Structure 1
Amino acid sequence: MDKKRLIKIIKILSQSQQPIKGKELCEELGVTVRTLRNDIKEYRHELSNHGLEIVSKHAVGYSLIIHNEEEYFQYIEELMKSESQNQMLIPIYPEERIDYLIKMFLTSDDYIKIEDICDMIFVSRSTLSHDLKEVREKLKYFHLDLETKPAYGLKIKGSEFHKRSCISQYFFHIHGGDESYLQKAKASKQQEIISNLLYKTMVEQQFKLTDMGFENLVIHIMIALIRLKEVQSNTPYEYDEYIIESREYNIATILCKKLEDEFHICFPQIEVYYIALHLSGKKAVQYNTNHLIVNQEYEDLLERIFREIADKYHMDFTMDMDLKTSLTLHILPMMNRLKYQMVIQNPLLEQIKIENSLAFEMSILTANIIHQIYHVEMNENEMGYIALHFQLAIERYQKQGPKKNIIIICASGMGSSQILLYKIRQKFKDYIQSIYITELYELPNIDQSVYDFILTTVPIPFQTEIPSIHVQYFLDDQDVLMLSDAFQQQSETLSFIDQYFSDNLFFLDLKGKDSKQLIHEMCSRIAMVKDVPNQFEDEVMKREKYSVTEFGNAIAMPHPMKPITDSTFVAVGILKKPVKWKRQYVKYIFLLSIQKDSKEALGLLHETLSALVYDKKALQELEKNPSLDDLKTILRKTAKEQEKNDIDVLFG
């Protein structure tokens, strides 16, 4: 049989919701009933080896049964490759299909019929319907939508500016970009020419862009040149006088004149405006290190952000001038991006959410405040960049705690005392106010109340007023671990495992089919054993709306938008089968709630739960025996490793 006919048979049957009678199938294929039977018989074994089967039932008809979807799509791709090397490859996996569909809509200015799309990518109407929901969700990020017109099909709806932003992402950034879209531009060295013209203009005008901003603007101009030749936008656009009268618009005008001379094309006003928007949203703000000039509006914004962080997380950043400066420089162009609905990408986003979870929560708080004041939505990518500033501030803050006064007792003589003193200062200099070296026999005569603890290389045979820590004079790894607890007041760190995890909040029988149902079910069951406020579930869903809490390794960590309970606890749900949260499948749910007005150091709890994202082996152990005792054992091990890693980083 001709492979083309086999492809057509599979295509027809895959798109039908019910069996097709042999006569109808033969008419569509242009073959006899006997030929059809022989064709199917010839390829029955091959089809079976690739996860599909064509079944014939008397008086009912032919139908396609897919036993293994992954093998099915791979087989279709191989068939298409063998038939035509120039044919665009059929996407196999759902994510690939969604990217494929978005690119298809972006490069078409006409409506595309649903049946034609099914025909292109070998899926049923129901599968396509599910894929289109995901397509709409992804397009929403770029302020775009799919317009449906009966008898015509589907078409992307939105402004030309936002379409180009989406084109930039899906043709230039995802999986290394799409060379087909750039082929002409690269062949004519267009990218290099644009880069040189942009660089010269920025130097002449003494205007600085971030590296990423420069690269994105070059890509925007390349897309503009392509789109100007292909399509003229009829989308009405409301110009903002603030941009028209800005320095950025003047620079955009100068740049467009150079581009017109080079490429012999006319840039209409809207194109100049688009470039001005890019410049305003991606500039590298400059300042005099002695005088950072910020208007009162942003001063008030930062003051409110710092005040709410102090209330919720008990970290006072009001005197952190580095944070104030870095946030100000970031917020100025960011507010332009938010105002004009410009989107940026953050390749580190998932890593930031996992490794800097507390800083990311602070950035969500910041996004919420900005939304309340300016009524603009900050997306996850922007939040990720804000979180990086907070992470540095958290690290600085943790080193600013009250410094310790300590006594050192070393019975081996002044030489070994000096070695111990050197080691202590080398490892913990940021945590020490003063050190007093003495002999053991002199200790009872010293006023111990002015010191925090004693370090001793020998046992102390009598009672002391303050804690004593026995160490080796050369300080081994275990000594460093104990001392880091003492200096950072973390001697009770692992107690959180027994304190916050309990049998009555450990669920193995959850029935929810999606994230909303599971969160509702867990919140309802928490309310049966904990005194939680009425808005508890609403606060968890509000936090989820800002940024989904799926973290990879089949883990989700939902939690309220702000601390609202009278105690800290973690409810654990382990599902029998993974459930799709938003983009990822989740099997382990840790619903965390932090006590309101709490001054507990919860950093290690966050870090320990986050560390599970990278520990597949630990979760495999838990899957074998999903019990609270096993979970606690894993958490203790993870916490100790996390604590040791932190010490290695801090103290070398």
Structure 2
Amino acid sequence: MTERERLIVKRLLTLDYDEYISGAKLAKEMNISVKTIQKEIQVIRSLLQTYEIELISVTSKGYRLTAKDPLKLQTLKLNLVQSRNADPEYGMRYWVKEVLRFLIEQPDYITVQELADQCFVSKSKMAEVVKEVKMVLTRYECRLEHKPYYGIRLAGKEMNLRKLIMLEQIPIYQLNSADEDKNNLTRKLTDIIVKVLVQERYLISDVVLENLVLYTYLMVQRVHKENLVEKLSMIRGVISGHVLQMANTIAKEISEQVGEVLPYPEIEYLALQLQAERTFDSRQAISPETEKIVAEMLAYIRETLNIDLTNDIDLRISLALHIYPMILRAKHDFQLKNVMANEIKASFPLSYDIAVTGSCFLLTHYNVRLGSDEISYLAVYFNLSLANQVELQERKKVLVISSERRGNSLMLRHMILNQFRNRIEKLDFINVSEVNHCDLGRYDAVFTTALEYDNIPESVVRINYFLSHQDFRIIEKILDGHNEVKNFEDFFQKDLLLRGQVKTKEELLRQLIALAVKKYPNLQEETLFQSIMRREKFGMTCFGNGIAIPHPDELIENSESFTVIGLLDNELDWNIDERVSIVFLICIKRDDSQSLKQLFNGLSMLLANENVKMKSYVANNLKI
């Protein structure tokens, strides 16, 4: 890539994800002709496609970059658009990890020029990186093999390569809550290990347990790819018979539940990991410092929101692996972009609020400020943890009210049962005309595909006849036992509703608080306002679709839980580029965290259900 091509790519990377720049403007900035820009764009487009980055052009708009994986763009940005204040040492560490990752995943020879192209740096810069890579490899008794005209490749014993992957935190085989297969595997491995440890009354620290799960996960992945460790030459006296038997039990469970047979040398090394504190490398992939940050953050969330996630080992591992590089990114202004941030915020408002609470902890205790995109990544981890807390429920009786004739319900019945057969005991269909003669209370969940019928209660959950992804998510939440749409109206109170026009956010919040104090005199009006404004300093209480959900930065002590609703005739500036007309001011009593979950889950489903018009829904349930 030439210097001019690099400058053009740098300029494209400064654009927002939906922003374009015209060829004429690029040409003017680069001091070249539009025709030259067009030629350069063709070359750049061809090069970037190799790395799964697309340079798209739209008539009358211009050019921009896009990628299915946002991390591809982040990698490109990190290498080409470093800020002036960025730490060069941090940049070098990143490149070293990227080169090591590529060499581990790609066993064939590769030239320095090919590596340079892969990382979007010059050949001379890559030569510096390779030099640093060699120094890192010496710490693990690994090396780079050189072959004339072919390039370099990684060489070393498998056990040393695994130490390298874990202790240098090379970003491969990482746990990722967005990948359900990986999460299923790590959950199985965690269950297996904890079960054996409990049975054998073998006590180890939290840090050692988390690293043991991480090592076992890495071991299974490497064995699956036929990268096997060598037989230990001296095992007797190093590992106790008891620990070796535990490793054998774990290996047997892995074979039965995961389907991966571990050779005996792998079992020996697993036994060494079980004795990690006494006989193995004292360095850990998850450091005690990182574990401390995670433990303190989860404790802060428990204290602030009364939501306890401290015992979720999978969550603690995932957060520990995610938080350290996230803090580095935040400190060096390389925070990730998340094109799904708005959807995550609207779909999982409670998880997002938990993530915001975690970010508040990081800011106040470690001076780390996260943007909304990074927070949305944390929200995905918290959402998975909350989902895993839902206990398996009894199969449900479900009713669907349809505007179609009964004979036309077969396709919808098939779609529902195909997705939720193991969750539904009975699935009935009735026509709209039969509603008044049907006892809806006999069913655990009631859905309807019919709209605008007076005889259908407002609390019945609307779904589409041709079920969308959102519909399936709504049905799943109801079957999980969250009857939020039915119970959501219970949080509405006529005397806690404000209607009209308001000029500023502060004015609206004070009016909503005044309504609450009138009903609950024990509330301290100014204290509550300041608590809400402290939370607003972190922003991100606007959840899309013109809806904001402000709340205090801590649970309240001297009042029952309540919600004050503002239905505005005008759109109010809430945050930069965010306007709202519906505001739910939520205050939850400290011992009533279940209401917090119900409120956020109810709002989540209403936001997801495009057929529900929020203003009319609230007004109708309040009978105004």
Q: TM-score, normalised by structure 1?
A: 0.47
Q: Which has the higher contact order (CA 8 A, sep 6+)?
A: 2
Between structure 1 and structure 2, the one with the greater Rg is: 1
